Chains A and B, each alone.
Chain A
Amino acid sequence: MLLDGTTALAADDLTVELGGLPVLRGVSLSIRAGEAVALMGGNGSGKSTLVRTVLGLLPHQHGGVRLFGQPLRSFRDWARIGYVPQRSMALLSGSKVKEVVAAGRLARRRPFRPLNRSDREAIHDAIAQVGLSEHLNTDIAALSGGQQQRVLVARALAGKPELLVLDEPTSGVDLQHQRVLAEVLAELISAGTAVLVVLHDVGALGDLIDRAVVLSDGRVAHDGSLGDLGQHRRRFGGHEHLDHGRDTADDHGENADSWLGGAVEP
């Protein structure tokens, strides 16, 4: 695949098996600079597996991944990548907010070198960007779920990434905090950052999304605008507003609602 300089991420015909079972079956995906792509689909559709594979956290059996034109295997420029994993605080509790965020500068630091001035500025800026400046020295375990999520976003932003990958950043976060996240992301996207965000439902991030890629059973079932996704769903008898976890699959739902796990509000 030929890539120009503005393609941040390109996954081509990716096949991933976990424990001998196929999870991704020939998935292709590309994201350009300044583009915001939502990766959606029901539980077990392969969203997180795709995200982890394109970042090199899981091996793939077939296909290829390129980050900024470089094959994943030889990609070393990790400072250009920001990753916000699913929120898991078990091992991070006991750390101050600024310690957690400082880890986001590691791709830019050499071993045995202390934080320099630009590192410290980037850490403070990232924390300010997510509105947590007054919690620099707070134990992350003492923050609310929404605030903890923002700390993880700040950690990814501290490295000033050009591609930001977020894995379900809105899960368990109330609408008010989703809006704060949406503001932060909108600013980044307008500055040219490519954003890949795994979402269970679009929530407050809907306005930002340029393109929605829906996975179903390890395959891309839809790759287009959120609006098209809504039309597609209506054509196949989907509902405008669906409750979380409700099984809405009907005779036609195979093609629409089942992709979405019954949880999209376009």
Chain B
Amino acid sequence: MIEILSYPFMQRALIAALLTGLIAPAIGMYVVQRRLSLLGDGLGHVALAGVGLALLTGTAPIPIAVAACVAGAVVVEVLRQRGKATGDVGIAILFYGGLAAGVFLSGISGVGAGGLAQYLFGSLTTVTRDDLMLVGVLAIVILVITLGLSPQLYAVATDEDFARTQGLRVRIYHIAVVSLAAVTVALAMRTVGLLLVSALMVVPVAAARNVVRGFTAALICAIAIGVLTAVGGAVGSFYIDAAPGAFIVLLAIAVFVLSWPLSYLLRRRRAAAVLPELVDDDELIAPHTITESHPHQHAPDCGHPSVQHGDHTDFIHEGHRHAAHADHYDEH
């Protein structure tokens, strides 16, 4: 670890990875909540159009990619809000239009489509001081907004109509989220790459939701997973000489895969933690509380933990411990 820190390019790479790991899941949480998981991918392709334009005009690619990406995101969001295109159709148009424009513009600039490759897959070890400054400023802006405005962004992402009746400017919040996602994607082309940054917006969020309960807990857990996998991937790729962007995303997916059995174990533990106090003191249990509609039919092999309770068997799930009684379930 000491060795890795002695190289200035690796210091920059690690800080860039850390910042990308922080911001991508933070903004990704709201994007995923709105069922727009592929938005980042669509925006990545629009950023390519910006890179193509930069190659053609001989200017710096990042500012133009950021501008193209934000413009694309806002146009799609406005089309969606006006009912001209659904979210997925809008993203598909971003996808194809951006890719076509990127390849077209880089072609006529004389560089060719091959010149786009470094932006597609990132180049963490060539991150410059200026890149880092830009990502640093963005990280502060995104974290302040995603954490500071979390209650508002949550309400807008989960129930748009209700958020409006709370006086929230829903359109502005939506545009803010897609714009921040666009900036995140465009800047990440120097770190994990345009094709892979979307994974870092989505996969840690999906993993976090498997292991923790609630929106806020999932947001914090997703950021933690994003940071761990981004830094872990950057360090690991240094030692095994692999592409950092790809390694980071594979690590994130590994965490997601592991989150499945972990979520099962956690659920069992939560159920077991509820059990002893209920068993020890029957006086505390409300007599004959009936469960509402309960479509699931409990049985010895249904997979829910069970416990013998006097002359019957109670089943435990989601904070309930109950037994079948006539046509309903009694809470015990």
Binding site for B on A (CB under 8 A): 52, 55-57, 76, 78-79, 81, 83, 85, 88, 90-92, 94-96, 99-100, 102-104, 106-107, 109, 111-112, 115, 134-135, 137-139, 142, 144-147, 155, 159, 174, 176-177
Contacts and interface: CB of A to CB of B under 8 A. Distances in A.
Chain B interface size, under 10 / 10 to 19 / 20 to 34 / 35 or more = 20 to 34
A20 to B, nearest CB: 13
A139 B318 contact: yes
Contact of B292 (A85, A106, A174): A174
B81 interface: no
Most chain A CB within a 10 A radius of its CB, from B214, B290, B294: B214
A106 B155 contact: yes
A99 B161 contact: no
B214 A96 contact: yes
Interface stretch (B3-11, B90-98, B105-113, B145-153): B145-153
Interface of B: 33-35, 148-149, 151-152, 154-155, 157-159, 161-168, 209, 213-216, 218, 290-294, 317-319
Contacts of B319: 134-135, 138, 142
Given A78-B165, A111-B148, 8 more contacts: A55-B164, A94-B33, A103-B155, A103-B163, A106-B155, A144-B292, A147-B292, A174-B293
A134 B318 CA distance: 12
B157 A91 contact: yes
A146 B318 CA distance: 16
A239 B16 CA distance: 72
A15 to B, nearest CB: 20
B211 to A, nearest CB: 12
Contacts of A78: 165-167
A85 B161 contact: yes
Contact of B215 (A94, A111, A138): A94
Contacts of B158: 91-92, 95, 100, 103
A88 B159 CA distance: 9
A85 B162 contact: yes
